[in-house]
Amino acid sequence: MEDGGRIKARLYVADSLAVPTLGLDAPRAHYLRHVLRLDKGARVAVFNAHDGEYAARIDGFGKGWCTLTVEEKRRAPAPESDLWLVFAPIKRARLDFVVEKATELGVSGIWPVFTRHTAVARINVERLALTGIEAAEQSERLSAPEIFPPAPLDAAMAKWPTSRRLLLCDESGGGGPIAEILPRVGTDGPWAILTGPEGGFARAELDALRELPFVTPVGLGPRVLRADTAALAALAIFQALAHDRLGSPPPRFHAQS
């Protein structure tokens, strides 16, 4: 079979890709057929963290489904950063935004936690997962971040996997500057970043967090950051200090020259 043209879309598929044929569910079939207006024979890419990325060709559409013939491998699976974002949820538009940006910045897991001053009571986990998948599709990631079930902060801390260190972004000034502390404590191994709600952490919450053996408190500087900005700033800084000697981005699907 000839190379056969440009890749028209990039799709996260959780199932194994090391198969001759894949079936897509109704939303994906709809997306390819009615949003991108692709026909039988069009080429797409499919990917997941376990198998890497493959080219595939649309075999056919039916009512609520689409089948793909899997073709050549385009990228091998590669290690990604093991970094969670644990954050107090915020209003819906900003929440989507945090998930999108955190995905681009390489988080492997996202855990919404309810703190004393958290003003949001309900989280649509499925929606957040879809936002993460879309961001992974757009940003050439091979994995999509896992969204953990929302929990109260103290419950999350009670069942915390203690081998994972937790960077507490403390806007009250209780931690040293992030760029001084992180190189000192070292960034190897699994980490998570914890940021608070718009109202900040309560004093008692900060006191309890600082007592935990896996917590490292830091400050993000002298500026007042919104909750979403603080989460993204902390992630960007962490990645720059920890993982970013690994090279430059993969060639972009949307790249121009």
Q: Are strands 146-147 and 215-219 parallel, antiparallel or unpaired?
A: unpaired
Residues from 193 through 212 that contact a second copy (CB under 8 A): 198-200, 202-203
Q: Is the distance from CB of 202 to CB of 154 less than 8 angstroms?
A: no
Residue 249 binds a second copy (CB under 8 A)? yes
Cα–Cα distance, 212 to 157 (Å, whole number): 8
Q: Which two tokens stand for residue 156?
A: 């999350």
- Binding map of a second copy across residues 152-191, x = CB under 8 A, - = no contact: -------------------xxx---xxxx-----------
Nearest C-alpha neighbor of 238 from the set 173, 193, 189: 193
Write the CB contacts of 184 (distance below 8 Å, at least 6 apart in sequence): none
Query: Could you give the string, one character per residue 20-59, with x where binding to a second copy holds by CB under 8 A and - elsewhere?
Result: ----------------------------------------
Which stretch, 46-54, 159-167, 209-217, 218-226, contacts a second copy (CB under 8 A)?
A: 218-226
Residue 146's Cβ-side half-sphere holds a number of Cα atoms within 13 Å equal to 9
Q: State yes or no: residue 256 binds a second copy (CB under 8 A).
A: yes
Interface positions with a second copy (CB under 8 A): 97, 101, 104-106, 117, 138-141, 171-173, 177-180, 198-200, 202-203, 219-226, 229, 232-234, 236-237, 239-241, 243-250, 252, 254-257
